């Protein structure tokens, strides 16, 4: 079975600082994809970044980067230079090859303070 | 990416009634999904909406409660039938784009409150 674990229910960071949101996953399938989404209070799910299990380099998208450690089965999201607008819920998700659905973690609520 | 719209954006409904949620995508997609997010919880897949055939439901979800239509490659509906307060959730439509990393994008969601 596939499982995503996010152990940080809440995180606080000051504006302009970097923050790391933790995500560990469990699957026996060698082919999988890892996703991070941001959910502001409005409820929409905003796609941030993707990492494939065979990707040699860590994914980056602007201020977002994914610290992918395959041996540890971790896929932590790093947000650099935090902004007030980054305050939201962040979900890590996994899709295993052969299955189309995403399995989500429980989420981390990030609060950025001035 | 894909631009996804959902209607209604929110609704307040009475127990025992039904609500149909519409999902429209700006391009043809093969894979469309319906997720539920109960208050304070993560997302759970309800079903995969298949074009031209019956939807594929996840364990714990049944067609009588959540009938789904997928008449073409850009549109789907989810009906929440015979609603109870436990159905109060955000319902999200999602599509998987083809090519690239086959990312999944979500619509803005429908926030449903059942009284």
Minimal CA separation from B94 to chain A, in Å: 9
pLDDT digits 0-9 by tens, A78-107? 999 999 999 999 999 999 876 778 999 999
Local mean pLDDT, 10-residue blocks, chain A (114 residues): 93 97 94 95 92 93 96 97 97 84 94 96
User: What per-residue confidence (pLDDT) applies to B30?
Assistant: 87
Closest approach of A114 to chain B, Cα-based (Å): 26
Cis bond upstream, residue B107 (ω within 30): no
- Classify strands A108-113 and A10-14 as parallel, antiparallel or unpaired: parallel
Q: Of B33, B37, B101, which is closest to A33 when you measure between CB atoms? A: B101
Contact list, B108 vs chain A (CB under 8 Å): 42-44
B108 touches chain A (CB under 8 A): yes
Residues comprising chain A, all counted:
114
Nearest to B10 by CA among B102, B92, B104: B92
Distances from the Cα of A38 to the Cα of A2, A85, B32, B67, angstroms: 21, 11, 20, 28
- Residues forming a β-bridge with A68: A75
pLDDT tens per residue, range B41-97: 999 999 999 888 889 999 999 999 999 999 999 999 999 999 999 999 999 999 988
């Amino acid at each position: 079975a596939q499982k995503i674990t996010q152990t940080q229910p809440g995180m606080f960071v000051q504006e302009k600082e970097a923050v790391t949101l933790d995500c560990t996953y469990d699957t026996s399938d060698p082919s999988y994809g890892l996703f991070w989404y941001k959910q502001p209070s409005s409820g929409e799910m905003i796609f941030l970044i993707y990492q494939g299990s065979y990707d040699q380099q860590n994914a980056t998208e602007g201020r977002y980067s994914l610290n992918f450690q395959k041996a540890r089965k971790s896929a932590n999201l790093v947000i650099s230079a935090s902004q007030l607008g980054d305050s939201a819920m962040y979900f890590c998700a996994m899709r295993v090859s052969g299955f189309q659905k995403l399995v989500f973690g429980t989420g981390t609520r990030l609060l950025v303070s001035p | 990416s894909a631009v996804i719209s959902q209607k209604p954006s929110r609704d307040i409904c009475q127990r025992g009634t039904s609500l149909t949620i519409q999902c429209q995508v700006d391009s043809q997609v093969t894979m469309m999904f319906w997720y539920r997010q109960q208050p304070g919880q993560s997302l759970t897949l309800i079903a995969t909406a298949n074009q031209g055939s019956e939807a594929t439901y996840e364990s714990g979800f049944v067609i009588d409660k959540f009938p789904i239509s997928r008449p073409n490659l850009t549109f789907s509906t989810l009906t929440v039938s015979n609603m109870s307060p436990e159905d109060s959730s955000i319902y999200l439509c999602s599509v998987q784009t083809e090519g690239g990393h086959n990312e999944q994008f979500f619509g803005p969601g429908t926030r449903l409150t059942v009284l």
